[in-house]
Structure 1
Amino acid sequence: MNTKVLFIIATGLVLSTTKVSAQATDCATTASIAYEHAKVKNYTAAEEPLWKVRKECPTYSVATYQFGQKLLEAKYKKASAAEKTTLANEIITLWKERFQYFPAKTKIGDMHSDIGQLMYDNKIGTKENQFAEFDKAYTTDKKNFKRPKKLYTYFSLFVDLHGEGKKELQGVFDLYDDITEKIENEESRLAQIIAELTEKEEAGTTLSSKEKRKLKNSGINLNAFSKVKAGINQKLGELADCKNLIPLYAGQFESKKTDASWLKGAAGRMSSKECTDDPLFFKLVEALHKTEPSAKSAYYLGILALKDKKTTTALKYFNQSAELETKTSDKAKVYFKIGEVMKRQGSKGKARSYYRKALKHRPSMGVCYLRIASMIAGSANSCGTDVFSKRAVYWLAENYARRAGKVDPSLKSTANKFAANYHAKAPSKTDIFNNPEKKSVSIGCWIGETVRVPKL
């Protein structure tokens, strides 16, 4: 190869390298300008350079797509109804591009559920198309499919498709159970945070600004999940009433009577909808205990024993169920049931112990706090030593009632009414003023707790 040819090749390589280097520099410069504007939400100035980077340097940084989404969402919020569909399609395209170039930095559950919600909100595609996006998100990346509104839309679409004859009723029940469990897990996580910080406050410790923010955000998110759960139950509506469940399961029983999974689901749904008086419930429980003796079959046998007023036998089955149960929310349900039996028998200390066990496994079970509050309030005269301490018992009852509303927003109104009633019976400001030496009150008998005297 002669010198002239080598020179031409070398020159070409230098020019090519220079061009690539110049392009990289141009991408970095343009991206820097776009990102700086986007960071301060100056999307008007950010738009042109941002779309230039997106078109010419699509693999430069995932930030291009993150800021691009924020830009389009800002436009979407301000857009007219006619403009929203176009912008929704633009956001969907952006999501797909992000996944194309940065799959490792794109959460499948987040992406497909977001696309599904945009399609649903803007009537893009058919219900089947919309459902398919949610279903892909949920079945492939459930961990990152967690926004309350999206969970509701997913379930709502499934029910609508069932109404059109495109989905089986059993599928509706299966999805309902799965989504409800996911929501309750989120509720328990948030309620645990609220319970711990609330107890800290009640003990007289001032929360840090970070803790106050955490408490507030947990309450907001818990309220959102509570509303969605109520919406899902309403959407399920009459589909899960006894009049539909009994003929459905009666028709399937012979072919499914050795299928433990089916028996658990059928008996569980009939139990939750209080269809336990029908002979079919007994058949389901009997078949389940024969096929696979388990926590579930023991629990249902306990329910049947209670109906026959065989309390000792019922408690034996419930305790067996609690020991065998591995699912925390169901274990909480069993402990609550035992607590209810103990409360009816007048064993307040034991009842509280089981209510607390239920809360340990499902912190969002606010009804347990209401039950404890009721028992404490009912013991005011017997657990105080003088007028002040007897009335101080109501402060403790009030604290428990307020906790119920904090960990379970659906109980907030009821909890506030009980709390206000207890507060009215507690020592007045005058009583506190006349007893300045009392900073806290130790409450005896089965309660065995100390309550702080409120500051004037």
Structure 2
Amino acid sequence: MKTKITLLALMLFLGFNVVNAQQNQECMTKLSIFSEYAKAKNYNAAYEPWMFVRQTCPKLHLAIYSQGEDILEYKIENSTGADKMNYINDLIKLWDERQVNYGSKTKKGEYAAKSCQLMYDNREMLNKTDEELYNCFDEAFKADRENFKNPKSLYTYFSLMVDLFDAGKKTDAELFNKYDDVVEKVQEEISNYSEDLNKLAAKEEAGQSLTSKEKSYKKYYESYLNAYDQISTSIDKKLGDRANCENLIPLYTKDFEANKTNAVWLQRAAGKMSEKECTDDPLFFKLVNAYHALSPSANSAYYLGILKDKEGKSNEALKFYEQAVSLETDNFKKAKLNEKIGDKLRKKGSYGSARTYYGKALQLNPSNGRPHLKIADMYNRSANNCGEDNFSKRAVFWLAEAEALKAGRVDPTLKSAAAQSAASYKAKAPDKTLIFNKGNQGETIKIGCWIQRSVTVPSI
């Protein structure tokens, strides 16, 4: 009897292995079939063999999920009504399955945000409320902030918060805290992509050619920097006047006592009041001094500089600004501080000093073209005061044009604005008739006053 049972068990085991081997072989065959169809973008033909492999051998290959995403996105785009809704829900399910079967290759912050975004983009069809969608994004952001970096999803996340605030479902504090969360994340990503782009810019500046792979990376970095630049503007527009001094001051006044030992809260409150130019209020003084006493940092030193500026003590203010730069260890943030100092000096008419700080900003972050445009603007404003005669005064515009062109070369977000500025400056520079009458083609003209630069008269 024992022998019969053993033989039966052995036969069942062998039979199971044979069936399993056959299934695996069929999965491998259909994997190859759907993969080739997907590569050729024949997604309708790919669908059936792909579904077989997905359901039968879900751990067989990552292509089940990477190419399956392409297949379902095609189906969604090319269907309507109930079919479209089914494909949308199936894509969300596919991302969940990927998390289960390929968790180490599925970043939660990335794929959860994609799922939330898909639901948001089809919210009417799926009957999703703003609250449900916000909670979806919020959960993804909190679970994996590092990989929640898609520009569109970051904007949608914040936009939903504003909509909920306007509907009376979120408080002022929740709105401003979420604004800070999202803006800080956007700035981190801009810093990361700028750092990568700066390495390639340094190679080009040294006269070295980029490899084809490096050129592809450059386009990729520039594309994301453009996207983050656009959503930064959109986020600020969406926030609008909701974060004005009339709203900020009573809110931070009310919460100050409870948060006067919370360095993060103090930094964000002081930063928001500085950003919105609420620095005349005594609360700003309280926030800055409490923050600096609790956690001396580049930010607190910068805010103290603002206070000294308000008191009319420019030299003391500059010392605090310099201290802020020395305390900052991150090159991207250090560059921003130098640019801010340059901005303050430019507004005061201290153009030579402003250019020095803009130069420091460019050394630290050469892919930021804004300092070039600001230097060009200072040249433009100084043309009438920095030349000996009409020709040399107008020659200053060649310097302005050159700076504007640099901005467009190094910064993908400024190409259009830089080109317009350069064309404007070029139109003000000496024309061919003036150069011909002067007869100084190819000569070098020294520009005086604070500019102290030379420019070569172009040939005609």
The answer, yes or no, to whether TM exceeds 0.5 is yes
Quick one: which amino acid aligns to residue 118 of structure 2? L
Structure-2 residue corresponding to 1:55: 55
> Per the alignment, do residues 340 and 238 of structure 1 end up closer, same or farther by CA in structure 2, a change over 3 Å counting?
closer
Percent identical among aligned pairs is 48
Kindly tell me the number of residue pairs found equivalent between the two proteins. 456
Question: 1:416-427 alignment to 2 at 5 Å?
Answer: 416-426=419-429
Q: For 2:192 and 2:454, how far apart are their aligned partners in 1?
A: 27
Cα distance, 1:232 vs structure 2? 1.0
Residue of structure 1 in register with 2:98 after alignment = 98
For the residues of structure 1 that align with 2:426 and 2:206, how far apart are their CA atoms? 18
CA deviations on 1:36-84 (whole Å, 9 max, x unpaired) are 1111111121111111111111121121121111011012223336654
1:112-191 aligned at under 5 Å gives the runs 112-123=112-123, 124-191=127-194
Q: For the Cα contact (< 8 Å) 1:191–1:407, is it kept in 2?
A: no
**What's 2:255 paired with?**
252
Q: Label 1:280 to 1:202 Cα distance change in 2 as closer, same or farther (>3 A).
A: same
Given that 1:194 and 1:407 are in contact with CA atoms closer than 8 Å, whether structure 2 keeps it comes out as: no
- The letter for the 2-side match of 1:22 is Q
- Could you tell me which residue of structure 2 aligns to residue 239 of structure 1? 242
1:65-118 per-residue CA deviation (whole Å, 9 max, x = no partner) reads 211110110122233366543321111011111212221221211210011011
Q: Secondary structure at the match of 1:41?
A: coil
| Structure 1 range deviating more: 329-338 or 33-42 | 329-338
Residue 308 of structure 1 deviates from its aligned partner by 2.3
Q: Is the 8 A contact 1:149 1:228 kept in 2?
A: yes
- The offset of 1:402, in angstroms, is 3.6
After TM superposition, give the deviation of residue 180 of structure 1 in Å: 1.3
Structure 1 stretches of 5 or more lacking a match? none
Give the secondary structure class of the aligned counterpart of 1:276.
Answer: coil
Give the partner amino acid of 1:26: E
Deviations 1:212-254 (A, max 9, x none): 5555444443332222111111221222111100111122223
Partner Cα distance (2:193, 2:439) in 1 = 38
- Conserved? CA contact 1:226–1:408, under 8 Å: no
Which whole-Å CA distance do the structure 2 matches of 1:199 and 1:140 have between them? Answer: 36
Residue in 2 aligned with 1:86?
Answer: 86
Q: Is the 8 A contact 1:198 1:403 kept in 2?
A: no
Give how far 1:370 is off. Answer: 1.6
Q: Which moved more, 1:372-381 or 1:170-179?
A: 372-381
1:22 corresponds to: 22
Q: Are the equivalent residues in 2 in contact too, given 1:245–1:270 (CA < 8 A)?
A: yes
* Residue pair 1:264, 1:288 contacting (<8 A) in 2 also: yes
CA RMSD, 1 decimal: 3.9
Q: Which amino acid aligns with 2:27?
A: C
**SS in structure 1 of the partner of residue 312 of structure 2:** coil
Distance of 1:443 and 1:263 partners within structure 2: 49
Which range is displaced more, 283-292 or 342-351?
342-351
Structure 1 stretch displaced more, 31-40 or 346-355:
346-355
Match of 2:109? 109
Highest RCO, 1 vs 2 (Cα 8 Å, sep ≥ 6): 1
Partner letter of residue 43 of structure 1?
A: Y
Give the C-alpha shift of residue 9 in structure 1.
5.1
Q: CA deviation at 1:422?
A: 1.5
Cross-structure match for 1:296? 299
1:22-421 matches, cutoff 5 A: 22-80=22-80, 83-123=83-123, 124-191=127-194, 213-326=216-329, 328=331, 330-343=333-346, 348-361=351-364, 365-377=368-380, 394-404=397-407, 414-421=417-424
CA–CA distance in 1 between the matches of 2:72 and 2:257?
56
- Greater mean deviation of Cα atoms: 396-405 or 219-228: 396-405
Unaligned runs of 5+ in 2: none
SS at match of 1:146: coil
TM-superposed deviation, 1:142 = 2.4
Whichever residue aligns with residue 159 of structure 2, its letter is S
Partners of 1:315 and 1:256 lie apart in 2 by 29
Going from structure 1 to structure 2, the CA distance change for 1:98 and 1:199 (only over 3 Å counts) comes to closer
1:193/1:448 CA distance change after superposition, 3 Å: farther
Residue identity matched to 2:32:
S
Larger mean Cα displacement after TM superposition, 191-200 or 211-220 = 191-200
The answer to whether the Cα contact below 8 Å between 1:392 and 1:441 also exists between their aligned partners in 2 is no
Q: Measure, in 2, the Cα distance between the counterparts of 1:208 and 1:293.
A: 44
Report Cα offsets for 1:383-441 as digits up to 9, x if no partner. 88999887665344223224445666776665444211212234656889999998896
TM-score by length of 2: 0.83
CA distance 1:189–1:442, shift in 2 (3 Å): farther
Measured against aligned partners, the alpha-carbon deviations of 1:340-399 in whole angstroms (never above 9, x if no partner) come to 344466654432221132344555654322221123445668888999887665344223
Alpha-carbon distance between aligned partners in 2 of 1:417 and 1:276, rounded to the nearest angstrom: 34
Distance 2:63 2:457 in 1: 53
TM-score for both structures, normalised by structure 1? 0.84
Contact 1:31/1:50 (<8 A) preserved: yes
Of 1-10 and 272-281, more deviation after overlay is shown by 1-10
Return the alpha-carbon distance in structure 1 between the equivalents of residues 113 and 144 of structure 2.
10
CA deviation after TM superposition for structure 1 residue 177, in Å: 1.6
Instruction: Compute the displacement of 1:257 (Å).
Output: 3.0
- CA distance in 2: counterparts of 1:3 and 1:258, whole angstroms: 78
Q: Distance in 2 between matches of 1:380 and 1:200?
A: 34
User: In the TM superposition, what is the alpha-carbon distance from 1:338 to its structure 2 partner?
Assistant: 2.6
Q: Secondary structure of the residue that 2:225 maps to in structure 1?
A: helix
> What is the deviation of 1:283?
2.5
